[in-house]
Structure 1
Amino acid sequence: MKQTVFLAVILATFAFIAPNSPLTKKERKAAIDLLKSTENDLLGEVKGLSEAQLKYKPSPDRWSVEECVIHIATTEEMLWQATDAGIRQPANPEKRSEIKMTDEQLVKGVEDRLQKRKTSDNLKPENSSFKSMNEALESLKNSRGKLTAYVKSTADDLRNHVLTMPFGSLDSYQMILFIAAHNARHTQQIREVKADAGFPKN
């Protein structure tokens, strides 16, 4: 009897001191939902488009649907590589004070198409290793599947791994939100291309 009570006390003690998952259920669900919904929205917008529709450009200085998809996949690859590298480094919670945006502000700001931004040369579609939309989509679906699975199960302390990026300091969880929001931003751009008066009927 005494041994049973002792074991129960030990187990209770370990249960108390064991660290909780660094992500809350709400945070985990929010990221997963955003990753899935933005991917599905993109796939829905490009499904069934003809070659002429994929390559149509409203003007010489604007991207086609195909170029938007290539840019999304190229950028997602780069952002996750940077995020993963940051997670593998020692935690740096002292840098959390450098983060100036809430999760909501970040997602809203990235998705906002009224704020025009120029991408870096290495992320421009013409400089990508992907040479077609289908190639880019396959990469995107593969990487998004892995990323979603990672968010579902990770015990990594994403909030205390802070990355300093050209657009500001974000924690690793926010970087994942950025990936999904960037997808949404350019899905909106695809809708703009499709809404153009000169967009091919088929």
Structure 2
Amino acid sequence: MMKKTILTLAILLTVSVALSQTTISNTERKKALTHLKATQSELVSLVNGLEENQVNFKMDENSWSIAECLEHIAISEKNLIGMIQGGLEGESDPSKRSEVAMSDDQILGLITSREQKVKTRKEFEPTNSFDGFDGTLKAFKDRRKSNMKFVKSTDADLRNHFLQFPFGLIDTYQGILFMSGHTERHTNQIKEIMASANYPK
């Protein structure tokens, strides 16, 4: 009888531990934080010290300037984390995992690629909403710092809460990777602007 009771308790404890392990792994957390830090560092080092004529230069009338790219990144940093936190509301739903459209690496590959251009939604468009270029850069750095703090500390079940994107369903952890990859995408756009033949040197 005693052995049976001990066995039952052991099984219940195992199940309880398994059910409680709904947060991301240390490896997943480190991957997201490393990518967030790297994309911030590259962007900031690229645009630091630019002159006004450089940040406002446009390759053509239909293109964004570096200032507009940076503002779009800063706006997106706020809007995307808002979507992620909204996706975490309510109960987790592991039954949807089979509907996730892409792997983590595929998500990063999709958002960082500049091969396919996509018109952004109105709420993500730059409208000169910050206090100049320096104010925009500060807004980005402040928001990225806050978002990294969230990733460091969250115990949310990021793998079993989901977001519906135009290309398919992703989990909220992938939403964080998407946000970081989005910064890389537009950092590459800034590099394209700086490589233009008419870009002010």
Q: TM-score, normalised by structure 2?
A: 0.87
Residue type matched to 1:194 in 2?
M
Amino acid of the residue matched to residue 137 of structure 1? L
Q: Which residue of 1 aligns with 2:167?
A: 167
Structure 2 equivalent of residue 30 of structure 1 = 31
1:136 equivalenced with 2:142 (yes/no): no
- Structure 1 26/75 Cα, relative in aligned 2: closer, same or farther at 3 Å? same
Higher mean C-alpha displacement, 20-29 vs 56-65: 20-29
| Gaps in structure 2 of 5+ consecutive residues | 1-8
Check if 1:194 corresponds to 2:180. no
Equivalence map 1:32-111=2 (5 Å):
32-111=33-112
Give the distance between the partners of 2:85 and 2:26, measured in 1 at CA: 21
Answer yes or no: is the 8 Å Cα contact 1:73–1:139 preserved in 2. yes
> Paired residue for 1:118?
119
CA distance in 1, matches of 2:192, 2:109: 18
SS at match of 2:169: strand
DSSP-derived class of the 2:37 partner: helix
Give the Cα separation in 1 of the matches to 2:169 and 2:162: 7
- Figure out how many residues of one structure are paired with residues of the other and give that number: 190
1:53–1:199 Cα contact (<8 Å) kept: yes
Residue 5 (structure 2) aligns with: none
Alpha-carbon displacement from aligned partner over 1:176-201 (angstroms, at most 9, x marks no partner) = 00000000000000000001111111
Contiguous gaps of at least 5 residues in structure 1: 1-9
Distance in 1 (alpha carbons) for counterparts of 2:13 and 2:93: 26
CA separation in 2, counterparts of 1:51 and 1:129? 17
Aligned amino acid, residue 17 of structure 1:
S
1:154 & 1:121 partners in 2: Cα distance? 30
| Structure 2 partner of 1:7 | none
Deviates more, 1:186-195 or 1:158-167: 158-167
- Aligned-pair CA distance for 1:14: 5.8
Q: For residues 129-172 of structure 1, give each alpha carbon's deviation from its aligned partner in whole angstroms, at most 9, with x where no partner exists.
A: 33532222222111111111221121111000011123321111
Residue 103 to residue 26, structure 1, CA distance change in 2 (3 Å): same
Q: Distance in 1 between matches of 2:64 and 2:149?
A: 31
Displacement after TM superposition at 1:92 (Å): 2.1
What is the CA distance between 1:91 and its match in structure 2? 1.1
Structure 1 length normalisation: TM-score? 0.87
User: What is residue 16 of structure 2 aligned with on the other side?
Assistant: 17
- CA 1:122 to 1:150, structure 2 compared with 1: closer, same or farther past 3 Å? closer
Q: Distance in 2 between matches of 1:178 and 1:146?
A: 16
Give the whole-Å Cα distance in 1 for the aligned partners of 2:135 and 2:73.
Answer: 12
- Deviating beyond 3 angstroms after TM superposition, the runs of 4 or more aligned structure 1 residues are 13-18
Q: Give yes or no for the alignment of 1:180 onto 2:180.
A: yes
Which letter maps to 1:170? Answer: I
8 Å contact kept, 1:69–1:136: yes
Contact 1:67 1:133 (C-alpha < 8 Å) held by counterparts: no
